[in-house]
Structure 1
Amino acid sequence: MEYETADIAIIGGGIIGMSCAYELARQGAKRIVVFDKQQPASGTTGGSAGVVCLHDMGELYAALTLVGYHRYQQLRRDHHFTFNAWGSLNVIYEPGVFPPPPDAYHQRFGGGADSIYHQEYLEPDALLRRFPWIKPHGVKGGVFYPNQGFIDPYELVALYERLAVETGQVEIKRNTPVLQIRTHGDSIASLVTRRGLWHVGTVLNAAGPWGARVAELAGSELALTPQRIQVCVATAFDDGVHNAPLTSVPESVQGEGVWCRGELGGTLLFGQHHHTTRSGYTVDPDYVHRINDAAYPPAVEQVYRRYWHLPNSQFLNGWCCVYGTTEDGFPIVSRDSRLSNFYHAVGLNGHGITLHAGIARAVSTLLLHNTTSLDLSDVLGEPASLDFSVLDARRFTSGNLLTFELHGRESSASHIVSEQYTKE
């Protein structure tokens, strides 16, 4: 029987799969193959708005955000990667407090003019001069983060693909779905693809919202839910708005939070978001209505016109993508609960663009060194590591769900182990 071989097979060619391929090759893995059922970045990654911002929803998220931001600075410096640093803006409305009280995340992880946490306090007059489309009613001030922004997801995945292939250890198989996973005992023996049989040493499931289906091919279950997310567009250039930062308003749209960021060319993108799996949004990722519901752009328009002055802008249909979500809102980065050579890196809940580098480094640590301790020394500037064992897929059946909270340095629940604090 004819077959090909790979030391590591990655299922999924989005930002997680492609960055993992690069990181694994960089860390010494030998022959790696990436299978994508269509084209790289054609799934959730391509539908992403590419936002790079703070994810302060617990210590794990904060640490992985720092790793991601650190990687973007490297890509900008070494490969002239495009990072649109248009910033993010937190507008504080009555009855909010301005200036805001000290932020625990900023105190612990911030510092320096180049930090993703670097911020400027804007009094109302200064805020409205800089962002004149914001209506003044109820505005008490704002916090502007100039180092945040957005990227082009296709450019990012293409760069990782080029860097991965240049190692000589990575092969990308486009339009090559994995159709069957064959097991022997407690491990995967081979993959049946559109283009034949592959004998593999290790398999990484990086299939995004298709992750549970990939697990099913191997006879495993994964607590991952595909959910539809809408993004609509406004023609802000009709009102002279350009380079708008990431921001939002203090009101939901159809019961759902909505972010907004400027886009190249002067449009505005408005996107749904929720941090955990929610009822009413679950879909089959292969059969998804790819444009907005008819009522969605008018609903966004109705809310945002109350806070922003956009008299000439038109709110138009945009697109939809599918997130892989989890019950507690945290990723799954772990060995499979049944199979010894099967691993998962899924469930980014829409945060993959910011977190991808941290996830890729965690995957490399897990697959190549069989440890869940991720070195953060280069990112935090001190000897420190992140214990990501809590991202185990089995937490959903054991009831050990994670929560969005910041653990203190002295807390026994902290996931960051720092030699400095240990010595103290």
Structure 2
Amino acid sequence: MKTCDVLIVGAGIIGLSIAWQLRRRSHLRIVVCDRGPGVGAGSTGASSAICRYRYSADNMVQLARDGIGVYQQWNAYLGQTDTRAIFQRDGVLWMPGEDAGWAEREHTRLSALGVRTRMLSDRDLQTMFPALNPCPLCPDLATAEAHDCKAGNRHLLETDGGWMDPVSAAQDTADALRRAGVGLHYNTEVTSIRSQGGRVTGVTLGDDENIDTDLVINAAGPWCNAVYRAADVEAPMQMDPVRIQVVHLDRPKSLAGKLPVTVDMAAGMYFRTQNRGQQLLVSSVREEDERETVDNPDDFLTVADDRFRAEKVHLLQHRLRGFSVDGNVRDYCGLYTVNQVDVHPVVGPWALDGFWVANGFSGHGFKLAPAIGALVARALVGSCGDFDCAMDPAYLSPDREPIRADSRSVLA
């Protein structure tokens, strides 16, 4: 590890995807360093890994389409047949609450962008997913007072959406990189990024070892600000690690039929199954639940708040017919790295010649990762014809104007 062509800081799904997309189209000497102890130790391991297409901006829809398309052809992408991760094409259901025209508007827009969707009536919903209550109202979280459920709304189903186990996907990518001769180094912190005359010349590691390189990519997720400090440059936009709470519980045997990944916009939550359909995972899509910034990403509360757990159980009782709590309600917390300017990632060269960044994914990182890897690799070494990304890289450039979105939450 004395010299390399590219050094990537961060071995989460973003850093690994950049490394693999570079390896697929070049013979560059690539090194990946991560301060964590192993695969999935950071944000990737805590990701819900939901692969949905719908974004406010058409460019982001296209980016999600390219990223999810890779997961759907995972073995071919990695060039191996013994992968751990399997794309779960459960569909992604959007329940828009009382906005009666939302589903039709988004169906028209997404269809024009090449995303397969279906509009569902309440009757369609009952036929396909009998456990779901189509009511567009949100339960009263202050008093828990019951309401009379309404009917007659329209819902939107992304038929090709779903989810994938994030740690398995990261491990698969790491295995492919090792087979291809890429160096992966855990428990390895980059403490300084050396430069001369405005150009990157190398890095210094925590054990004072020096590596000479003229290209460093900051893909360090919640630790990205430490990498900016190591390079002695300011971040292009404010990046804050934010604590995100997730609840999971056993699926009650009384819950009938198939369940899609569900985005309940009225209730401000999403949920999906996991563990071969035997468990439910649920979290928030509300902006107010993405405001708890963390000073030190190595030291934050990793269990959910009692109120958060209770609210999610109450909301599930409204949305799912036959729902009851069978066993313990469990929980964990992970970190989004939120771009506080426009909740979209920054990707591209920044501040120094040879210093690239891929930060601020604000909860979108997993589904976009293969496309982000392609975006960076295409800019650095050219296209390769398959598993590429067609989006103009200037859209996510670190020096762009802020992107406008319908929401500042993970639904942006």
Shorter-chain TM-score bucket reads 0.7 to 0.9
**Which range is displaced more, 99-108 or 37-46?**
99-108
Conserved in 1, the CA contact under 8 Å of 2:111 and 2:117?
Answer: no
Q: Deviations over 1:317-347 (max 9, x none)?
A: 311111111120211101112x111110111
Provide the secondary structure at the position in 2 that maps to 1:357.
helix
* Alignment CA distance shift 1:191-1:242 (3 Å): farther
Q: Which residue of 1 aligns with 2:343?
A: 329
Letter paired with 2:269: V
Q: Which residue of 2 aligns with 1:103?
A: 107
Q: Which residue of 2 aligns with 1:144?
A: 157
Distance apart, 1:240 and its partner CA: 3.4
What are the within-5 Å matches in structure 2 for residues 170-181 of structure 1? 170-181=182-193
* Alignment CA distance shift 1:277-1:234 (3 Å): closer
Q: Count the aligned residue pairs.
A: 379
The alignment status of 1:294 with 2:306, answered yes or no, reads yes
Q: Which residue of 2 aligns with 1:417?
A: none
* Alignment CA distance shift 1:92-1:60 (3 Å): closer
Conserved in 2, the CA contact under 8 Å of 1:124 and 1:139?
Answer: yes
Provide the secondary structure at the position in 2 that maps to 1:5.
coil
* Alignment CA distance shift 1:276-1:304 (3 Å): closer
Provide the secondary structure at the position in 2 that maps to 1:229.
strand
TM-score by length of 1: 0.81
The match for 1:391 among 391, 396, 404 is 396
Q: Deviations over 1:15-65 (max 9, x none)?
A: 010011111111214210000112122100010011111132212211211
TM-score by length of 2: 0.83
Q: Which residue of 2 aligns with 1:312?
A: 324
Letter paired with 1:65: A
Q: Which residue of 2 aligns with 1:113?
A: none
Structure of higher RCO (CA pairs closer than 8 Å, 6+ residues apart): 2
The alignment status of 1:341 with 2:341, answered yes or no, reads no
Q: For 2:284 and 2:96, locate their aligned partners in 1 and report how far apart those are by CA, in whole Å.
A: 21
Instruction: Supply the RMSD in Å over aligned alpha carbons.
Output: 2.7
Conserved in 1, the CA contact under 8 Å of 2:107 and 2:118?
Answer: no
Conserved in 2, the CA contact under 8 Å of 1:76 and 1:83?
Answer: no
Letter paired with 1:259: Y
Provide the secondary structure at the position in 2 that maps to 1:25.
helix
Distance apart, 1:289 and its partner CA: 0.7
Conserved in 1, the CA contact under 8 Å of 2:103 and 2:119?
Answer: yes
What are the within-5 Å matches in structure 2 for residues 119-268 of structure 1? 119-135=117-133, 137-140=149-152, 141-168=154-181, 170-195=182-207, 196-222=209-235, 223=237, 224-241=239-256, 243-252=258-267, 257-265=268-276, 266-268=278-280
Provide the secondary structure at the position in 2 that maps to 1:302.
helix
What are the within-5 Å matches in structure 2 for residues 18-29 of structure 1? 18-29=16-27
Q: Deviations over 1:127-180 (max 9, x none)?
A: 224322223532434333332111111111122122222223x11112112122
Distance apart, 1:216 and its partner CA: 1.0
Q: Which residue of 2 aligns with 1:402?
A: 403
**Which range is displaced more, 280-289 or 358-367?**
280-289
Letter paired with 1:192: T
Distance apart, 1:192 and its partner CA: 1.8
* Alignment CA distance shift 1:180-1:66 (3 Å): same
* Alignment CA distance shift 1:291-1:388 (3 Å): same
Q: Which residue of 2 aligns with 1:410?
A: none
Q: For 2:337 and 2:74, locate their aligned partners in 1 and report how far apart those are by CA, in whole Å.
A: 26
Q: Which residue of 2 aligns with 1:44?
A: 43
Q: For 1:276 and 1:355, locate their aligned partners in 2 and report how far apart those are by CA, in whole Å.
A: 24
Letter paired with 1:392: S
Q: For 2:73 and 2:377, locate their aligned partners in 1 and report how far apart those are by CA, in whole Å.
A: 18
Distance apart, 1:98 and its partner CA: 8.8
Can you give the 5+ residue segments of structure 2 that lack an aligned partner in the other structure? 135-148, 407-412
Q: For 1:364 and 1:99, locate their aligned partners in 2 and report how far apart those are by CA, in whole Å.
A: 36
Letter paired with 1:354: K
* Alignment CA distance shift 1:241-1:204 (3 Å): farther
Q: Deviations over 1:268-316 (max 9, x none)?
A: 1112246799644444211111111122110112233233224422572
Provide the secondary structure at the position in 1 that maps to 2:405.
coil
Conserved in 2, the CA contact under 8 Å of 1:56 and 1:105?
Answer: no
Can you give the 5+ residue segments of structure 1 that lack an aligned partner in the other structure? 111-116, 406-424
Q: Determine what percentage of the aligned residue pairs are the same residue.
A: 24
Q: Which residue of 1 aligns with 2:55?
A: 56
